[in-house]
Structure 1
Amino acid sequence: METAREKEKVILVGVQTRQSDELFEYELQELENLTETVEGEVVAVLTQKKDSIDPRTVIGKGKLEELLHLVEELGAHTVIFEQELSPRHLRNIQEVIQCKIIDRIQLILDIFAMRAKSKEGKLQVSLAQLNYLLPRLTGQGINMSRLGGGIGTRGPGETKLETDRRHIHRQINEIKKELEETERHRQRSREKRQSSGVFQIGLIGYTNAGKSTILNRLTDADTFEENLLFATLDPLTRKMVFPNQFKATITDTVGFVQNLPTQLIHAFHSTLEESRGVDLFLHVVDSSQQYVEQQEETVLDLIQNLNMQETPIITVYNKKDKMHENFQARLHPHIVISALNEADIATLQDFMWEEIKKHLVPYEREVSLAEDGGALFNQLQQETFVESMELIGETNHYLFKGYTKSNSKWLGDR
């Protein structure tokens, strides 16, 4: 009879430098959530207040000894640092602590390796892991072989990382070439959508805010939705038809998280690029979280870093059925819903249309059915929002009135 695998016992370590007590507590809570996502059991949390982290070992000498005693006393398998560990940090800590040592970045990379389903997603994660681990190869063989794998060791694997650096550089180059080909294909699809004149919506938000659930309720996407961090890694674009028959596309993206590793932003460049050409962002925020403000800022900061701050944003405060007692809506325009409530989804669609209309331009267009044979009729109905269609008897033309994007080919005299 198969027995359940024993959870890794994990000790979390964090240094509070300039953060407020509240923010530091939030960071540690998120680190614990991330650890639980990879089925680690947090058995202790070690913290230290310092003006700056120790250049040798992150935490001071006394704290390092305290950590050693905790590891031995609790039989911990893994120590996870909130701060990024440089190769020097890792080497010095490893000399004292005889168990697996990783940091928050490696933990997030590990979760991404668990969640990646598509070939592209797996390649992107492998690239991020190899780029992160390359400068940290010294001593990694020992570190990763302890306990035969587990947290922080998914992906490229122990044997690959113990081979020479030239081999790893070669792997990185091969993955980049494959991803470039995928990106070219994605770019062609993106350009086709943009030239079609169809209105494009991008779903953004903190991980586990409910983006995939909302995508499923607004479309027939049937994407993976569960109460998990980073449940969605692969961008998914689906057609959305509003009750008034206005058509748009909506694209789900990877969930953001505080201090998203630079390696991941680079690796998931093409995924995040899916959001670059959209006409409107739907920013999904989990109203049940205590630290809503920090999560909002994380998403908005990343949007700014990616130079996409000019794109209009609608904020959807989700999970109103579990709303935190101190919740306050700060961003505008916004709506508060539960994605699981059918009436709320209908209200969301109406709200989205009213906001979308602000970014569309009214147009009028005369079309002759005799000359065109119906092709223009179909195009107008597919690529614009047709509000009315009236037959003008004298000219035997149809007068179309409706809304379209400001850069639409349907504007002006054609």
Structure 2
Amino acid sequence: MNRLRWALTLCLALGLPGAAVAATEPVLRVGMVAGSPPCSYREAGVWRGLAVDLWNRVATLEQLPYVVSEWPSVRQMLEANREGRLDVAVGCINVSPDRLRRYRFSLPFQEDGLAVMVVKSRLDLGRSFLAALLTPTLLQLLGGYLLAIAGLTWLTLRLEARTHPATDGRRNSLRHISKVFQVLATGPGSNTIVATTRGNGIVILAYLVRIVSASLLVGYLTVNVAGEIQGKATGAIRSPADLRGLRVGVRAGTVSEALLKELNATSSGAKVTIVPVASIGTGGEQLAARRIDALLGDNLQLSYLLLQEEAKGFLPSLALEGIRPESQAFAYAPALPEATTNRIDQAISALKRSGVVSELRQQATTRGNPQGR
């Protein structure tokens, strides 16, 4: 950065064309944190992500020259920004009440909450599926269907007794009853068990019973069993308080870590074991290896990770979403001129209004997007 300023000063001294314009526009010191896809990360040495792309568009729109430096955590970047070692901190930075008292923020460009990711093996999901099938409601539906078919079987036998009399004693009679029951329950072969108009009416009624029962069973399996499996897949986590007693991965210096520390401070019982992770991707790997029980992070980041990881042999899912939604923005240094911050805020506002921010968010969370490679 010093070399760049020295070069601009030299150009101005030599009277080179355009040097005056370049020299009047200060070079902004911009900080970014890697390992936070899809907001900010490095790929093949190039910065990518939703926040990075948004900043590039703002800088291009306002013709703001800048240099980028990488920081190990959001907390360290914000402190450097507050101390004046950075001009702008770029990322999906949550504007929490505590941060709002300490730092200076740009116009928010989106709102997001926290989420909890857990993982289950295919064997665990298989067990959950079997357990969900053996529920009283499903057994009642099946029992009601079989009872209705049994009633229609008895009625058919009464009406068709003269046409299909039982022969050779009780054994053949039971065989005949089972045949009628099977035909009414499954459908094929109805022409072999009835020969009267009333009998055909019973066959049609049995058909309607099968259709209605099948619809009820499919609806139950689609809604109730699927929901039951999802609930079992996410374990017993129904609120942030359920994280107590678990090993939870979290990035250092984030709002997520602050939430876990708050849970531990307000609990007299089991504590959350806070496991620092270098990046969201690393947290996903630790979750798959069962070195942690859950991963806590921004909803957007974990949704992105969900798309990337669900094809790698394990089945992650979001147990909780939308925890403590907060605005997200860039952070300004206290000494950054108001004229510059106003230009940045106006550019963010214009990009939000034109739909660019929504487009960048959609691209960042779409499978197959170049950012997600």
Please tell me the TM-score bracket, short chain as reference: under 0.3
Normalized per residue, which structure has more helix? 2
TM-score under structure 1 normalisation?
Answer: 0.23
TM-score under structure 2 normalisation?
Answer: 0.25
